[in-house]
Chains A and B, each alone.
Chain A
Amino acid sequence: MSTNNFVHKQHAHCESGVTANLLTHHGLPISEPLAFGIGAGLFFAHIPFVKVSGTPGTTFRTWPGAIFKRVAERLEVKVHTEKFSNPQKANAALDMALEAGKPVGMLSSVFYLPYLPEAFRFHFNAHNLIAYGKENGLYNISDPILEDVATIDPEDLAKARFAKGTPEPKGFMYYINDIPKSVDFNKAIKAGIKQTCFFMLSPPLPWFGNKAIGLLAKKIKGYPTKLTPRKASLYLGNIIRMQEEIGTGGAGFRYLYAAFLQEASEMMKRDDLAQFSTELTKIGDDWRNFAYYAARQMKNRSGDIVSYDELSDLLNVCGTKEKDLFQRMQKIKW
């Protein structure tokens, strides 16, 4: 069985990529940046006391599942979502949906996806992929971070869907039931931008949104005195990986969001959004600059206080510029 004419397209990020591919398949063509922006995917958080594989948790994006859910709500697309108590039920439900001709989105752990190179297979449980058919006992997989489609054994897929840890996917799957006759993209874009501004600027806690960039900058300043050179290197390396390794489109989703603002400016015929896009691209370059010097510091491991101070300053530049940008964007008269 196979869903007819499913077209795989490579994207930068798994969740916005799956969202774009599913909607496009169902006759609502949408780019990845548009899905990412409407789903308010951009975010920042640094939570020093939550350790992920021994390093403080840092993220450049919103929580898993939010992008697909928000895009569906904002475009009034009817979706089906389901979690399962065991792999047998999960695979059976997947087979039924595929029989019905529906490509199915799923949450999975990259550690249990044999088609990915080993280098990327850590215990990251919030990876999104699509199954679009089953042939000769293998599922046909469209993984948006890959150039081409792949296949997976049902047993491996079950392991990936029932990985333990944080978060636990519990076999979570989702598919589209119905697309509305007409879609108000402008309204959805506006809601997405408003939400991103809100999440960047409003959290009263220091670990979330724009404030957290300053917090991370402050923490980095303390690395040479508070951590062993080895730990400091690992912490820096983790920030770089979250920002640049697979799935962000570069500069921790800043380029992806700038691409969204550009597309939105064309759709809504608004020059101000184009201006914000250009600005965010430059801020993205600042983030890349930070990562470049962070990598140098990481490799050198000298624990040189001056360099850590400089890194901290580079990060503060990103935070300050972004704060100003989002504050102005929040005041847009729609």
Chain B
Amino acid sequence: MATALETLPLRETQSIESVEALTRCLRQASAEGVPVYPIGGATSLEYGMPAREAGIGADLTPLASIVDYPARDLTLTVQAGVRWSQVQAALGEENQELPLDVPFPSQATAGGIVATAWTGPRRFGYGAVRDYVIGIEAVSGRGDVFHGGGRVVKNVAGYDFCKLLTGSMGTLGILSQITFRVRPKPERRCWLSAPVENWEVARELALRLRRAPLAAVTMGVVRGPYWKQTAWSECIESVEDLRFVLLLEGLAEEVAGSIETARHVATGWCRWHEDDEPSLVQSRLDDLAAFPGSTEPPLAIRAKTVASGAEPVAQAILAIDADASLFADLATGMVDAHFSVFPQEGLSATLVKKIQPIARHYGGHVRLLRNASGAEMTHQVVWTELGLPLQLMENVKQAFDPNNILNRGRFVW
């Protein structure tokens, strides 16, 4: 994991101890027209376009308090700089959780996860980050504190800034506080996994499993050398194997019933291996969550399509790099991939010409997660050319950050 100083062109870093300090920092930067780069756990600084202009790093990790946790109301309010592992630990004491799994949870911050709208492996079962943010506080590029939502689970007063700011990469405001709705922890969890013959079998099996009544929260295929060094290693005989993985969560009876159902559905297709030892279940989940954040590969991407697009995208990646490692989420259409070598023909020729069109065909796009070469970092390579309503986005950006100081140059425009 690269540090902020290695990744961003910082001329100074300010330690943000309070919302007032953040306001002061942004007002001054706005007056001077100097870019400000928000920094949480520094786990996603390579995500997005590279910052080019020298600016101020706003280190939000001192804003690390849990503000309010009325467990019976199933809500949690935290400052943006609180580490994700601390959030999960606090929730764990009440047997609750946020089912959002991220790489480097002991470094990643709540604010960073919301700002990047980071998706983890349990998306199928529990939805996206945006589904959990019910209240938000941020400081705009003008240096004004503003809020959206509140601390109740249902609330339609005013524009939904919770959604607007989630995934906005800090370009409309730097997040200072977030209220989440939280969930009870599942009573039992169990991984089923099985080798499958080929991608066609994987696709058909996923389709059948999705139609069956199952307490499934993750459903996909892991493949490639990366998984040999993880908690999945004993499942991977050869790096070319496709391993179908299925995480079941819920009441003990639901999981037991789902295991039976999954066996029935898979008859003639594969034989499940069952693992429900809690620490193994967790480490396998952690490893899936960590995969897209790995700094090992020369090139890492994340494709997101409708469910039926995951298999063709995965095949397209393997056609370019047979030694690629990947996790193809066949239930949500998300494919995370590590290339084994940097493609000789370059990113435009591989990503833009070969993988993005397939993702687009299935309604989606491809994001660049890591490019060790640093070359060809164009908007089209990093985010995919999608015909977005960019003028409208720019109008909104202008409304919140007229001097374009927030994370300048790192987003889609």
Question: Are A and B physically bound partners?
Answer: no
- Interface residues of chain B, those whose CB is within 8 Å of chain A, are none
